[in-house]
Amino acid sequence: MQLYTDAATTPQTNQSAAGILLIDQGQQHQYKQVLPDSDNHTAEFLAAIAGFKILLDSYGPDQVVFFYTDSQVVAESVDKAYSKHFAVELATLLHLQDQCQVVVTQWIAESENHGAHQLAQQGLHLKN
């Protein structure tokens, strides 16, 4: 199972949205959703949380997941299991990941996260 997440935030208004791309046995499932207004780093955590909630709701626990994010803050926080500024969001994300059999988190460049990025951009327009 592959999970790609990304967030988009409009800096002037802090409107945020998530793009979530789940790939299961070669089949893509695309999701976009409005997030609470927030800064971009918080939105990246919220997008990851939303992605894991969808994965767990759709496929149940005990999945082997390759999780891809273009947020270095999210990737490093998960790797260290520590975040000074996003402790609550990280704790929620780690709790969801703990329900999976294995989670391999990998930071990828924004250019490699195009699918989730496009979905997040589309999600911003859901608010209007």
Give how far Cα 3 sits from Cα of 15, 38, 85, Å: 23, 22, 24
Output the pLDDT for position 126. Answer: 83
Please tell me the distance from the alpha carbon of residue 59 to that of residue 15, in angstroms, as a whole number: 29
Show the domains of the chain with their CATH numbers: 2-56+75-124 (3.30.420.10)
| pLDDT tens per residue across all 128 residues of the chain | 999 999 999 989 999 999 999 999 999 999 999 999 999 999 999 999 999 999 999 999 999 999 999 999 999 999 999 999 999 999 999 999 999 999 999 999 999 999 999 999 999 988 65
Helices (H), the chain: 40-59, 72-80, 87-98, 114-124
97 burial (CB, 10 Å; 0-12 / 13-18 / 19+) is buried
Q: What SS3 state is found at 28?
A: strand
Please tell me the distance from the alpha carbon of residue 112 to that of residue 90, in angstroms, as a whole number: 23
18 burial (CB, 10 Å; 0-12 / 13-18 / 19+) is buried
